[in-house]
Amino acid sequence: MHYAFQSLVLLLLAGAVGCAPAAEPTNAPAIRIVASDWGRAQPDEIEAVVRSAAAVLGDLVERRAPLAIVVQPAAEHPEVEYEKNARGEYVMALSARDRRWAQFAYQFGHEWCHILANFDHRVSANGEPLNQYQWFEEVLCETAALFTLRTLASRWQSAPPYPHWKNYAPWFADYADAMLAADHRSHAQLQVLSSWYAENGEVLARDPYERRRNDFCAAALLPLFESDASQWNALRYLNLEHAAAEPTFAGYLARWQATVPEKHRHFVATIAAAFARKNVADEAAPQLSSTTHVSLQ
Ligand SMILES: [Zn+2]
């Protein structure tokens, strides 16, 4: 009887859940802004800006387990910590202050990308950090930051967080334009990445924070993502399957290509081909099984 009663209760509960309106699929992270010294900006204003920035990539990646981010002022440079805090939140620090909304969006867009790119999977089987391809993740996150700015520039024209914030929309475009116009990004295009990587690959493997090199590469990749924004979902599969332990960069990209769903495979192959050394058969990306399947929680 006891078990029958329990079953009945469970059935009733299941029925109640079944009758509830379906929850809207949301990829928006829970965001909490630490009340601290942000200069002339209030935490609720910063929250509105970074929520808007989070929605740019959040709207483009497929449903995932809910996650939470706490945002605090950075003493030096923006970063997101490997370890979550005791509340289960990713701890993100931003160096933007005052009402520099474009800088907030740019920095948040970059760090949010690291979270979506499984940055905490870049470790060996025994937990040692593996950083030789981290530069590529930095490049993708720089690309994501520019993409976030340019998306917000148009989104705030029609749907700013508050109606009177519409006038801030051009700030995002101006910020992105100024960066893309910098000398060290000039002539950045997909067609030169092969020779560029041949010259810069070793330096990048040693130092993933070679900013000017990363900036160049990000500017070259941006049009690819802007031509099909749905491909940002491929980010969710970066660094999985112990890709960071691959002996070559071509192998790392081939692992990514084998791990993404079919709809992203051609896109990742296009990126891999852009970096591949041309006309040298043995530099071609190694073939991995295309049946590898990874489920995301
Ligand atoms: Zn970064």
Rounded to the nearest angstrom, the distance between the alpha carbon of 278 and the centre of ligand 1 is 29
Distance from residue 136's CA to the centre of ligand 1 (Å)? 10
| Mean pLDDT of the region 67-90 | 96
Of the candidates 77, 109, 71, the one whose C-alpha atom is nearest the C-alpha of residue 90 is 71
Record the tokens describing residue 224, joined without a space. Answer: 């690819």
Give the Å distance between the CA of 107 and the centre of ligand 1.
Answer: 9
Distance of CA 65 to the CA centre of its chain: 15
274-285: pLDDT as tens digits: 999 876 544 444
Question: What pLDDT, on the 0 to 100 scale, is given for residue 279?
Answer: 65
Q: What are the Cα distances from residue 20, in Å, to 12, 17, 192?
A: 12, 5, 54
- Give the pLDDT band of residue 232 (cuts 50, 70, 90): very high
Distances (CA, A) of 40 to 97, 100, 101, 118: 7, 10, 12, 33
pLDDT digits 0-9 by tens, 178-209: 999 999 998 999 999 999 999 999 999 999 99
pLDDT of the residue at 282 = 43
- DSSP structure string for 60-93: TSPP----EEEEEE-SSS-EE-SS--TTSEEEEE
How far, in Å, is the centroid of ligand 1 from the Cα of 14?
Answer: 43
Question: Is the CATH code 3.30.70 the one for domain 30-283?
Answer: no
| DSSP single-letter state for residue 194 | H
Task: State in Å: Cα 277 to ligand 1 middle.
Answer: 26
* Model confidence pLDDT, tens digit, residues 17-55: 333 333 444 678 999 999 999 999 999 999 999 999 999
Tens digits of per-residue pLDDT, 242-266?
A: 899 999 999 999 999 999 999 999 9
User: What separation in Å is there between the alpha carbon of 83 and the centre of ligand 1?
Assistant: 15
Confidence at 227, pLDDT banded by 50, 70, 90: very high
What is the rounded CA–CA span in Å between residue 154 and residue 26?
22
Residue 133 has pLDDT above 70, yes or no: yes
Tokens found for residue 44: 């609720």
